[in-house]
Each structure stands twice: as structure tokens, then as C-alpha cells.
């Protein structure tokens, strides 16, 4: 189970790095946070899981979306 | 592209150089503190959740430092945002009244309906995590962040004039300041009863040993929730 979750996290991380649409990468980042929250719960660290779900999936996503709203959504090819 | 590949290889090498010794070394981990906590922790602190017992009992001094770090981070962010906000404010704010919805493309009725119903439930769950931090997983920081999410939900869901006092910046700022002041007073209070800095001042009078941990959890939760909440609300452009 942990291996499957880690593979998903790895795949989403690679997608986050290489996608051109920044909003997509923010959503992928928040999915990574949710998956790692599940991982922490499986590894018997529910405290960390709560924090990861609330901070990673909630607050940091809001901050990233706010930043994208005030800058450009698409990454420019330079 | 080539430059970024070289950079990522370098980063991987760096990370493995830092992490590998941890896995490869055969050094025995220190076990004294672990064994002591496992045997006596619950009895000494009265908290079933040992994580809470450690970060508010044995290591409360670190927690005080963490709250100061959070306070400074929030203050700095708000300072930068206030400066940048003057330029960005009127482009498209989340707080537009109903008729001016045109520019408000990221805020739909769906978002409004869902967040305004979900906000109070999330707030309640946050307070639960905060209050029962000594018994179940969670605690001040976790509960506080969940409370902050609830506040942000309420801020997103409130339509125009039907806003509650909880999502006003000045209110949240006051809550945070008062909570931090209470934390400082509580941490000093142990000295006057002869227990020491950040120790339970009523250790020999109270029948509930975890009482001090509960109070600290509530105060830290309020502080974290108000701090992060006010930061996010300012980011959303809410007045």
C-alpha cells in the first residue's frame, strides 16, 4: 500500500514539475499532500496526517492559487 | 533543458549525500528518552496522546519558540501584502457585491453555496481537534490550522453584507494578539507558584493533570487559527 502511494506521489510530483499550466501543477501538489496524509496515517502518525491535510491541501493551495491569480497562469517558453 | 538536467542530477546527489548516512550507519539510536516517555509519559503528564504531552509538557519551550516564529511569519506576510495590496486591490477582489460579479470570475454560486455550508462544520471539527488534543491525535497547531480553513471557507462563502464578525481582519488580529499575550502570561505563571517556566502552575492542586495542556492547546489553537486565517483573508482581498 505504501509503495503504491509513493509511486502515485512520485508520478504527481513529476507531473507538477513538467506541466505548463501552473494551476494544474497546484492541483497536483494538493493531491500529493492528500496522498502523503494517507501515507502518514498508514504509518501511524495521525497528528502529522491532520497537519499535512490541513496545511498542504488547504492553506498552501489557497496561497498558490492567490499567487496564480495575480500573475500568469501559463508558463512561458523561454 | 540541459542546464536543468544538470541541476536536478546535482540536487539528487546532494540529497543522497545528506540522507544516505542515516540509512547506512549502524549507530544505535539513543533510547533513554524514548523508554522514559513510554513508561512514565502518560502518568506524568496525564495526556493519553504522547505527542501533545511532549510538545506542551516536556518540550513546551520549543513550542513557545514555534509560536513566535509563526507570529513573525504572519506579520511579515501581512506587511508585504499590505504594501502590494494597494496596487492589486481593485483588479479583481473576492469581496465584490453581488451586482459586480462580472469581474469576479473565480467565485461562483457553487463555491459560495458549498463553502458557506461547509465552513461551520470545519470550524467545529477544528475546535474538536483542538480541545481533545490531549486524548486523540491533534492538538493546538493542527486544530488551529483546521480552524483557519474554516475561517477561509466562511470568508469565501459569505455574500456581500451577510458577513460574520469572524472573518473581519481586525477581529482576527485581536484574537491572535490576545492569545499570544495569554500564552506568555501562562508560561510565566508557573514561576510564581514555584514550578518553573512553562510548568503547570497548579500541579499540586488540580486533580486533572492534563488541564494545563488543554488550556495551552486552546490558546495555541486560537492563535494559529486567527493568524493563518487573517493571512489568507488578506490574500483573498477581503476587507
Contact residues, B window 97-126, toward A, CB-based 8 Å cutoff: 106
Nearest C-alpha of chain B: how many angstroms from A28?
Answer: 19
Grid cell listed for B120:
461551520
Q: How many CA atoms lie within 13 A of B22 on its CB side?
A: 5
- At B106, the pLDDT band (50, 70, 90 cuts) reads low
pLDDT at A29: 93
Is the pLDDT confidence value at B204 over 60?
yes
Q: Average pLDDT in the A39-43 region?
A: 92
Contact between B142 and A50 using a beta-carbon 8 Å cutoff: yes
Q: Do B146 and A62 touch (CB under 8 A)?
A: no
Is the ipTM here above 0.90?
A: no
Find the range with the poorest average confidence among B19-23, B69-73, B90-94, B167-171: B90-94
Q: Which of residues 207-236 of B touch A (CB under 8 A)?
A: 228, 232, 235-236
Give mean pLDDT, residues B78-96: 60
Residue scoring higher pLDDT (B44 or A50): A50
pLDDT at B100 over 60: no
Interface test with B, best of A44, A47, A75 (most B CBs within 10 A): A47
In angstroms, the CA A50 to CA B132 distance is 14
Give the pLDDT of residue B187. 86
Q: How many CB pairs under 8 A join A and B?
A: 45
Spell out the domain ranges in chain A. 2-70
Confidence of residue B219 (pLDDT cuts 50, 70, 90): very high
Are the beta carbons of A57 and A34 closer than 8 angstroms?
Answer: yes
- pLDDT on residue A59: 81
Task: Enumerate residues 16 to 55 of chain B having a beta carbon within 8 A of any beta carbon in chain A.
Answer: 49, 51
Q: What angle do CA B151, B154, B157 make, to 5 degrees?
A: 150
User: For B129, which residue in chain A has the nearest alpha carbon?
Assistant: A50
**Left, alpha or beta for B196 (phi > 0: left; psi -120 to 50: alpha)?**
left
Query: How high is the mean pLDDT of chain A?
Result: 87
H/E stretch holding B68 reads: helix B60-88
Mutation site, B50, B88, B145, interface A, largest A CB count within 10 A: B145
- Segment A20-30, tens digit of pLDDT: 888 899 999 99
CA atoms within 13 A on the CB side of B175: 24
Residue A42, C-alpha cell as written in the block: 498508514
- Domain edges within chain B: 45-235
What is the pLDDT confidence band of residue B13, given thresholds at 50, 70 and 90? very high
Chain A: give the shortest CA distance to residue B231, in Å.
Answer: 9
State how far the Cα of B226 lies from the Cα of B169, in Å rounded to an integer: 9
Top pLDDT among B129 and B86 is at: B129
pLDDT of B107 > 80? The answer is no
Q: What is the pLDDT of residue B135?
A: 85
Tell me the three cell numbers of residue B158: 459569505
Q: What is the DSSP letter of A71?
A: S
Instruction: Give the model's pLDDT for residue B91.
Output: 46
Tell if the CB–CB gap between A46 and B137 is shorter than 8 Å: yes
Q: Is A42 on the interface with B (CB under 8 A)?
A: no
pLDDT at A37: 93
Give the per-residue pLDDT at B10.
Answer: 92
pLDDT in tens, B25-43: 777 778 888 888 888 877 7
Checking if the pLDDT of B163 tops 80, the result is no
Q: Is the pLDDT of residue B117 over 80?
A: yes
Count of Cβ atoms closer than 10 Å to residue B61 Cβ: 11
Indicate which of B52, B155, B228 best probes the interface with A, i.e. most A CBs within 10 Å of its own CB. B228
Amino acid at each position: 500500500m505504501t509503495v503504491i502511494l509513493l509511486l502515485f506521489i512520485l508520478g504527481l510530483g513529476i507531473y507538477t514539475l513538467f506541466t505548463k499550466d501552473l494551476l494544474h501543477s497546484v492541483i497536483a501538489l494538493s493531491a500529493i499532500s492528500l496522498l502523503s496524509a494517507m501515507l502518514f496515517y498508514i504509518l501511524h502518525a495521525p497528528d502529522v496526517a491532520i497537519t499535512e491535510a490541513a496545511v498542504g491541501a488547504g492553506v498552501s493551495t489557497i496561497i498558490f492559487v492567490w499567487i496564480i491569480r495575480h500573475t500568469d497562469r501559463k508558463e512561458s517558453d523561454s | 533543458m540541459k542546464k536543468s538536467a544538470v541541476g536536478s542530477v546535482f540536487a539528487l546527489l546532494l540529497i543522497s549525500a545528506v540522507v544516505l548516512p542515516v540509512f547506512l550507519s549502524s549507530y544505535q539510536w539513543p533510547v533513554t528518552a524514548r523508554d522514559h516517555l513510554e513508561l512514565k509519559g502518560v502518568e506524568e503528564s496525564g495526556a493519553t496522546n504522547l505527542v501533545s504531552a511532549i510538545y506542551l509538557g516536556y518540550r513546551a519551550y520549543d513550542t513557545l519558540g514555534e509560536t513566535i516564529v509563526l507570529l513573525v511569519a504572519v506579520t511579515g506576510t501581512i506587511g508585504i501584502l499590505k504594501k502590494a495590496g494597494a496596487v492589486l486591490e481593485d483588479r479583481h477582489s473576492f469581496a465584490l457585491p453581488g451586482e459586480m460579479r462580472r469581474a469576479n470570475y473565480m467565485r461562483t454560486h457553487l463555491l459560495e453555496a458549498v463553502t458557506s455550508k461547509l465552513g461551520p462544520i470545519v470550524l467545529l471539527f477544528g475546535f474538536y481537534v483542538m480541545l481533545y488534543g490531549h486524548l486523540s491525535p491533534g492538538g493546538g497547531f493542527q486544530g488551529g490550522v483546521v480552524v483557519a480553513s474554516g475561517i477561509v471557507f466562511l470568508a469565501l462563502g459569505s455574500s456581500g453584507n451577510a458577513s460574520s464578525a469572524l472573518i473581519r481582519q481586525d477581529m482576527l488580529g485581536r484574537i491572535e494578539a490576545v492569545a499570544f499575550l495569554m500564552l506568555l502570561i501562562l508560561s510565566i505563571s508557573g514561576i510564581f507558584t514555584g514550578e518553573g517556566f512553562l510548568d503547570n502552575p497548579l500541579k499540586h492542586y488540580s486533580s486533572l493533570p492534563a488541564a494545563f495542556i488543554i488550556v495551552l492547546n486552546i490558546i495555541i489553537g486560537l492563535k494559529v487559527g486567527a493568524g493563518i486565517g487573517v493571512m489568507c483573508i488578506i490574500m483573498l482581498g477581503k476587507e
